[in-house]
Structure 1
Amino acid sequence: MIARDMKQATLTEPKNIRFSDEQVPDSLGTMDVLIHVRRIGICGSDIHAYNGKHPFTPLPVVQGHEYSGEVVAVGSQVTTVKVGDRVTGRPQQVCGTCGPCKAGRYNVCANLKVEGFQAPGVAQDYFVLPEDRTYVIPGTVSFDEIALLEPAAVAAHATSMVHNIGEKTVVVAGAGPIGNLIAQFAKIRGAKRVVVSDFNPFRLQLLEKLGIMDTINLSEESFQQGISRILGDEPFQVGIEAVGVEPALHNLVDHVEKGGQVLIVGVYEEHPRLNMGFVGEHELTVQGSMMYKHQDYVQAIEWLVSGDLQLAPLITQRFPFDAYNEAYQFIAENPAKTLKVLIDVN
């Protein structure tokens, strides 16, 4: 039986999540799915929002956009989802009528709203999803792993933008959850070589446990020294910025092979400066990568189920729902031993 009331977590102002009791949705549209939320992941964008520094998040907003849950009810015309299914959802609300949407690029919809940022998120006991944004995951996959499919889809999308990846060396700036997943996806897609740089040895060691051995510890050597040590005189053709800080962007742009590609995945709290004369003279492609599309979720699920993609090792801590604020505080105070933090909702 579904309870009438549910708890909800709202970011009301920077560094303050307020808890409230709300009513569970009492009716579903014909194409809607009601899920009982189980896990919520905290990501870098959530941290920016929590600190009041996310450039596209007005407050207040209900938290949560990467999650897992169990289906407890479906609308009368839902055919692909049933009660009891383990699911996650794509948190993009799109208009379907703008130029990008008509071109199939709804991930950059002119009127895009992302749940947890510009629209209410899933930080509550129950959440309503439309069927076409719901993904059913085989029962052998844990709720923990399902909650990480959203960042995995980010990595799937970014690496899909690298053409002929098997002929290219990919360098990833940042070994956080997104950088880790991008490195995993680049390796799965057959990149010639994958290199990851970061200041955090704990995060770099996890990558090595996952079979990505070419790492640069920026607390011990410069980016250029690390690239020379690993690649020698061989250049790299693709740089993927996954941390959202200006020096990381400069490292990639300044060292990628002429005619190379630099993809921007990280979220910047401040606008970075970039030497566009250098970009022009080297004919670099500097390109943004925005979230994901349906096929990126499908690909992430496929490789998770097959065992090629490893998500469980990224989980380092978990907190109960009523300790949401404490989870953020822990992340801020313990960056050296934190990668992915989960909130146990139910």
Structure 2
Amino acid sequence: MKMIQAVMTNPGIINFNEVEVPEVKKHEIKIKVKNIGVCGSDIHVNHGKHPYTSYPVVQGHEISGKVTEVGAEVDHIQVGDKVTIQPQVVCGECYLCKNGMYHVCENLKVMGFQTTGMASEFFVVDANKATILPEGMTWEEGAMVEPLAVAIHAVQRTNTLDNKNILVIGGGPIGNLVAQTAKAMGAKKVVVSELSASRLDIAEKCGLKTINSNEESLTEGIKRHFGDEKADVIFECVGSSYTVAKSIEIARKGSTIVMVGVVSDLTEVNMGFVQDHELTLLGSAMYQSNDFDKAVELIKNKKIELNRLITNRVEFTNYLDAYSIIDNQKDKVMKVMIEMI
């Protein structure tokens, strides 16, 4: 049996190859891929700027699919189930894997970057990578479970958000989802700071308060929303040196900053300020299975608005158009969804 697979042979070049569908081993499942979301890391690969990806590479790590075959030893998944896939490939042998932190495995590979991704008609994968989706969940919602899991993992890096004031710097897809998750998980007030008018509009339509950083400073916006209490937790979801430094500068004494954005350059941090203000700095990377389960729960219970985040849809055979849309429309675009043939 053959299938079509999208292969990025070099930055900005995708070939559609006809390849054999892998055989399903006893512990594996085969899925027919339905939707693929495009994220910021994919864009870095398209531009040849991802530090840990070489070519050729098959992309695709935010997906939904329908199970079409199960291996002989798989008993918790059935043909016809809707699923999404947790895309980490871990060694299971390093200290981190053996101590509950497999998501930052010393030998971590991620589908679509260091190993084969899911940009193909069918995908064969170890059954324990699959998260079953409720029957009523749409394929697009299923493909949004992965980025929502990123947000959930970031929010759960803090002890609790109960009765806390939350500031999210950056209103892109991850920042928006972090803010929505914080609100859904008990925060007192959640505010998103963003430059893009369209992203601010989407945030407000998702029920979030906003700061337009073109019109007022973060200090002014924090005062307007939170008063003298300021923010208890700041989530940095941009990943620029400026916003990292700014997060520390505007933090209230004794508050927490969670670094969610991927920072590609070296950043100067005022550690004297961190020490004197007794700030807590936390990193957040990827997710675990329980984050996927929580994402499914929040979507199922309609606690997260996803449809407003999907701004563009592209057919699988026009894969590169997704990147053109993102490059040319920039801040007007949130999530581009690839629709399979």
**Residues 1:248 and 2:243 are matched in the alignment:** yes
**Cα deviation, residue 280, structure 1:** 2.2
The residue aligned with 1:339 is: 334
The residue aligned with 1:298 is: 293
Unaligned stretches of 5+ residues in structure 1: none
Contact 2:313 2:336 in 1 (8 A): yes
**CA-to-aligned-CA distance 1:33-65 (integer Å, 9 cap, x gap):** 100011100011111221122232233311110
Question: Which amino acid in the other structure matches residue 15 of structure 1?
Answer: G
Residue number among 1, 5, 12 corresponding to 1:8 in the alignment: 5
The residue aligned with 2:217 is: 222
Q: Following the alignment from structure 1 to structure 2, what is the Cα–Cα distance between the partners of residues 235 and 175?
A: 19
So what's the TM-score if we normalise by structure 1? Answer: 0.95
The residue aligned with 1:208 is: 204
Unaligned stretches of 5+ residues in structure 2: none
Instruction: Please tell me the root mean square deviation across aligned C-alpha atoms, in Å.
Output: 1.3
**Residues 1:54 and 2:50 are matched in the alignment:** yes
**Residues 1:287 and 2:282 are matched in the alignment:** yes
Q: Following the alignment from structure 1 to structure 2, what is the Cα–Cα distance between the partners of residues 18 and 226?
A: 47
Contact 1:320 1:345 in 2 (8 A): yes
**Cα deviation, residue 218, structure 1:** 1.4
Q: Following the alignment from structure 1 to structure 2, what is the Cα–Cα distance between the partners of residues 20 and 142?
A: 28
Question: Which amino acid in the other structure matches residue 99 of structure 2?
Answer: A
**CA-to-aligned-CA distance 1:228-277 (integer Å, 9 cap, x gap):** 22222222121111121122212211111222211111112322222222
The residue aligned with 1:115 is: 111
The residue aligned with 2:156 is: 160
- Which segment drifts farther, 243-252 or 137-146? 243-252
Q: Following the alignment from structure 2 to structure 1, what is the Cα–Cα distance between the partners of residues 54 and 252?
A: 39
**Residues 1:19 and 2:16 are matched in the alignment:** yes
Residues 1-346 of structure 1 mapped to structure 2, 5 A cutoff: 4-25=1-22, 27-212=23-208, 214-346=209-341
**Cα deviation, residue 103, structure 1:** 0.7
Q: Secondary structure at the match of 2:162?
A: helix
Q: Following the alignment from structure 2 to structure 1, what is the Cα–Cα distance between the partners of residues 316 and 259?
A: 32
**Cα deviation, residue 225, structure 1:** 2.1
Q: Following the alignment from structure 1 to structure 2, what is the Cα–Cα distance between the partners of residues 250 and 90?
A: 32
**CA-to-aligned-CA distance 1:294-342 (integer Å, 9 cap, x gap):** 1100011011111112222211111011211111011111124211000
**Cα deviation, residue 17, structure 1:** 2.3
**CA-to-aligned-CA distance 1:59-88 (integer Å, 9 cap, x gap):** 331111000111110001111111111110
Q: Secondary structure at the match of 2:117?
A: coil
**Counterparts in 2 of 1:272 and 1:54: CA distance versus 1, 3 Å:** farther
Contact 1:48 1:269 in 2 (8 A): no
Question: Which amino acid in the other structure matches residue 152 of structure 1?
Answer: L
Q: Following the alignment from structure 2 to structure 1, what is the Cα–Cα distance between the partners of residues 61 and 31?
A: 14
- Which segment drifts farther, 275-284 or 130-139? 275-284
Question: Which amino acid in the other structure matches residue 186 of structure 1?
Answer: A
- Which segment drifts farther, 269-278 or 303-312? 269-278
So what's the TM-score if we normalise by structure 2? Answer: 0.97
Q: Secondary structure at the match of 2:42?
A: helix
Deviation beyond 4 Å, 4+ runs, structure 1: none
**Counterparts in 2 of 1:336 and 1:290: CA distance versus 1, 3 Å:** closer
- Which segment drifts farther, 219-228 or 71-80? 219-228
Question: Which amino acid in the other structure matches residue 338 of structure 1?
Answer: V
**CA-to-aligned-CA distance 1:97-150 (integer Å, 9 cap, x gap):** 111111111011111101011111001111112111111111111101100000
**Cα deviation, residue 12, structure 1:** 2.3
Question: Which amino acid in the other structure matches residue 13 of structure 2?
Answer: N
Question: Which amino acid in the other structure matches residue 263 of structure 2?
Answer: Y
Q: Following the alignment from structure 1 to structure 2, what is the Cα–Cα distance between the partners of residues 157 and 210?
A: 20
Contact 2:157 2:282 in 1 (8 A): no
Aligned residues: 341
Q: Following the alignment from structure 1 to structure 2, what is the Cα–Cα distance between the partners of residues 59 and 229?
A: 49
Question: Which amino acid in the other structure matches residue 20 of structure 1?
Answer: N
